[in-house]
Structure 1
Amino acid sequence: MKKVTPFLMFQDGNAEEAMNFYTSLMEDSHITKIVRYGANEAGEDGTVMQAVFTLKGQEFMCIDSNIKHPFSFTPSFSIFLTCNSEKEIVNLYEKLLEDGQALMPLDEYGFSKKFGWLNDRFGVSWQLNLP
C-alpha cells in the first residue's frame, strides 16, 4: 500500500466551493489539483471530476458525483481538528457552522478544555478540539 487518503463525494456540484472554503480557513492548506468534466462527458461541464487538496498537510481527494445517490455525508466520519488557542477554535467553529448544524456546541465536556462538533453547510462533519 502506498498511502491512505480521505475521499469526499459531493452531490450538488459544490466540491470546488467546499475546497476553496476549507483551504481559506486554515494556513498551510491549498488545492493541489482539479480535473474538471468537459462537454459531453459523464458529469456536468466544469464540475470536479477529481480533485486533491491539503489541510495542514493532510491530503484529501474529492469529486462532484455525476450520479445522485440516496445518501450523503455522515457524522460518523468526521474531520478532527486540534486547535492551538481559544481564538482559533471559536473562529473555526463559527465559520464552519454558518448554514450548518451543531451536533455538540462549543463547550467544555470534561475530556478537553473546549470541544465542538458540527456538520458544515456542505454536510461534512467536523470535530474541533482545544486540548
Structure 2
Amino acid sequence: MQKIIPNIWFNKNAEEAGQFYASAFPNATSSVGARYPETDLLDFQKDFAGQALVVNLEIEDYRLTFINAGPEFTPNPSISFMLNFDPVRFEGDADRARASLDQLWAALAEGGNVLMPLQEYPFSAHYGWVQDRYGVSWQLMLTDPAGEPRPFVIPSILFGSQAQNRAREAIEFYTSLFEDSRIGTLADYPAPTGPAQAGAVMFADFQLAGQWFAAMDNGAGEGFGFDCGVSLEVDCADQAEIDRFWEAMSAVPEAEQCGWLADKFGVSWQIVPANMDELMQRPDAFKHMMQMKKLVIADF
C-alpha cells in the first residue's frame, strides 16, 4: 500500500484536472474521493457546499490526491513529478517508449510552460521538464534500461530559495524517520553551479516506506520555494504513529492546521490517520477536523 501520497492544490477545478490527466496518461483513472458537506462550513468555504473536496488520480498503481479549494496556494516546480519511460516497460522497444513520452509531452505542454525543452541531455537521450496548464510540473525522461529499475512516477524535490544546498541534510533526515528507507543514487555538483555549492546534491534518489523520491539542490537560480501547493500526505496506522511523525517533523507552528505541518526545510506534509475516509463519515467530522492542528483520532 502507498503510505505517502502527494497532494496537489487546485483552484476550484480539481475534478476537471482529474479528468484531463485521466485522458492524457495511459492506464489512469480519476474519481471523487470526498465532497464538502452541505452544511456547517466556514464562511470562506460555503461556495464549495456539496462540491468535490478531494479527487483521486491513479496513474497505473500510483496515487495522487487533488485538493479542490481556492486560490490560496498553487503548485510550483519545487516539487515536480518525474515520469520514467523505461523501454523495459515497452517490451524493450525504445522507439515505443519514446513515442509514448512524446504523446504525453504534447498533452501536458499544451497551454503550459516549458521549463527545459524536450531534447537530448547528458543524463538522458530524451528529456523535458514542463509546467502544465494547472501549474503542475512534470519531468519526462527516456531512461536507460540498464541498472536498477525505477517506478514510472517519482516525486522530485528541488531544494532552493531558503532551503538551498540542504538536499543532503533533508534526505538523511527523511530516511531516518521512515521504515524501509534507503538512499539509491547520489551525485554531487563537482563545482559551484548557480546557487548550488560544490558538493551540493546534483541528483539523488531515495526510498521512504519503500517508495522512491528524488531530490536535488537548485543549480539554476529560480526562486521556487516550498508551500502547500504540493504537500506529502503520510497515512498513519494509529495515534502513536501520528504523534511520532508530528513531533519529529513540525517546525513551523503557524503552519499547523488540520493535520498539515511544515518541516524545517519548508516542505508541507499532512500527517493523517490511514482510515481518514471512515473518520470523515462521523457526524460533524469536518467541523471537528477544522478545529484541530495535529489530528487526534478520538476527537473526530
TM (norm. structure 2) is: 0.38
Q: Larger % of helix: which?
A: 2
Task: Call closer, same or farther: CA 1:100–1:66 in 2, change over 3 Å.
Answer: farther
Aligned equivalents of 2:264, 2:156: Cα separation in 1: 18
Match of 2:264 among 121, 124, 128: 121
**Structure 1 residue 123, shift from structure 2 partner:** 1.2
> Which residue of the partner structure matches residue 240 of structure 2?
87
Aligned equivalents of 2:166, 2:245: Cα separation in 1: 20
> Which residue of the partner structure matches residue 8 of structure 1?
157
- Which amino acid in 2 is paired with 1:65? N
Task: Call closer, same or farther: CA 1:119–1:99 in 2, change over 3 Å.
Answer: closer
Count of matched residue positions in the alignment of Structure 1 and Structure 2: 120
**Structure 1 residue 128, shift from structure 2 partner:** 1.1
> Which residue of the partner structure matches residue 49 of structure 1?
202
Larger Rg: 2
> Which residue of the partner structure matches residue 111 of structure 1?
none
- Which amino acid in 2 is paired with 1:61? A
What SS is found at the alignment partner of 2:257? strand
Task: Call closer, same or farther: CA 1:118–1:86 in 2, change over 3 Å.
Answer: same
Query: Structure 1: 5+ residue runs without aligned partners?
Result: 106-115
**Would the aligned equivalents of 1:100 and 1:123 in 2 still touch at CA under 8 Å?**
no
Task: Call closer, same or farther: CA 1:76–1:91 in 2, change over 3 Å.
Answer: same
What SS is found at the alignment partner of 2:222? coil
**Structure 1 residue 23, shift from structure 2 partner:** 0.6
Task: Call closer, same or farther: CA 1:52–1:101 in 2, change over 3 Å.
Answer: farther
Moved over 3 A (4+): none
Task: Call closer, same or farther: CA 1:61–1:84 in 2, change over 3 Å.
Answer: same
**Structure 1 residue 84, shift from structure 2 partner:** 1.1
RMSD, aligned α-carbons: 1.7
> Which residue of the partner structure matches residue 24 of structure 2?
none
> Which residue of the partner structure matches residue 144 of structure 2?
none
TM (norm. structure 1) is: 0.83
Q: Which deviations, in whole Å up to 9, do the C-alpha atoms of 1:84-117 show, x marking residues without a partner?
A: 1211111101111035653415xxxxxxxxxx11
For the pair 1:32 / 2:184, whether they are aligned, the reply is yes
**Structure 1 residue 69, shift from structure 2 partner:** 2.0
What SS is found at the alignment partner of 2:214? strand
Aligned equivalents of 1:29, 1:101: Cα separation in 2: 29
Of structures 1 and 2, the one with the larger relative CO (CA 8 A, separation 6+) is: 1
Match of 2:230 among 77, 83, 92: 77
- Which amino acid in 1 is paired with 2:265? F
Aligned equivalents of 1:18, 1:101: Cα separation in 2: 21
**Would the aligned equivalents of 1:101 and 1:120 in 2 still touch at CA under 8 Å?**
no
What SS is found at the alignment partner of 1:68? coil
> Which residue of the partner structure matches residue 65 of structure 1?
218
